[in-house]
Amino acid sequence: MDASENQIITQFRSILRRFEREIFMLNNDSCCNGITMAQCHTLLEVEHKEKESLTGLAKTLGLDKSTVSRTVDGLVNVGLLNRTIPAENRRMATIQLTHAGKNICNTINCNSDQYFEKTLSVFTDQEKSEIIRLLEKATNRMAELRSTSDECCN
C-alpha cells in the first residue's frame, strides 16, 4: 500500500469511528427503558421477518446461536418476544414480537426515521441514492471478507 492509499484508509477509518459513535449515541437515545443495542437489533430483525428461528436470527445478526439465545431469553422474560416450539420439530423454536415488542419497535423506528430524515436533508435525492448504494456495497464487501477470512493482520 502506497502513502496516498494509506492516507485514504486512515481517513476512512477515522470517519467510520466518528460515524459509529454517532450511531451509538442514536441507539442510546432510541433504545431506552433498559433495552440494549443488541436487544434493539434483535427486535428490529424479528420485526422485519415477522417470525424467525433462532438459527436464522443468529445468521442475520452475524452472532453465534448461544449469544442470540441469551438475548432472546431476556426479551422473552420482559415480555417483548414470544418463543413458540412447534410439536413437530422441538428443535426449531420460532420467535415473534409481542404487542409490547411491536410498540418498542415502533418507538425505535419513529425516532430513527426522524433523525435520519434530518441527517439526510442536506443531500439531494441523487446524493442520497449514491450514499445508499455505496454504503450497501461497502457493507456487503465487509460481510464477504468476514465470512471468507480468519486473519486480519499478518
Cell 428443535 sits on residue: 91
Q: What is the pTM of this model?
A: 0.78
* Any domain includes 88: yes
* Any domain includes 28: no
Domain count, the chain: 1
What is the domain extent for residue 126? Answer: 35-148
CATH number at residue 104: 1.10.10.10
The Cα 65–Cα 61 span in angstroms is 10
- Contact status, residue 54 vs residue 96, Cβ threshold 8 Å: no
* Any domain includes 114: yes
Q: What is the pLDDT of residues 47-102, one digit of tens each?
A: 999 888 999 999 988 889 999 999 999 999 999 999 998 778 777 889 999 999 99
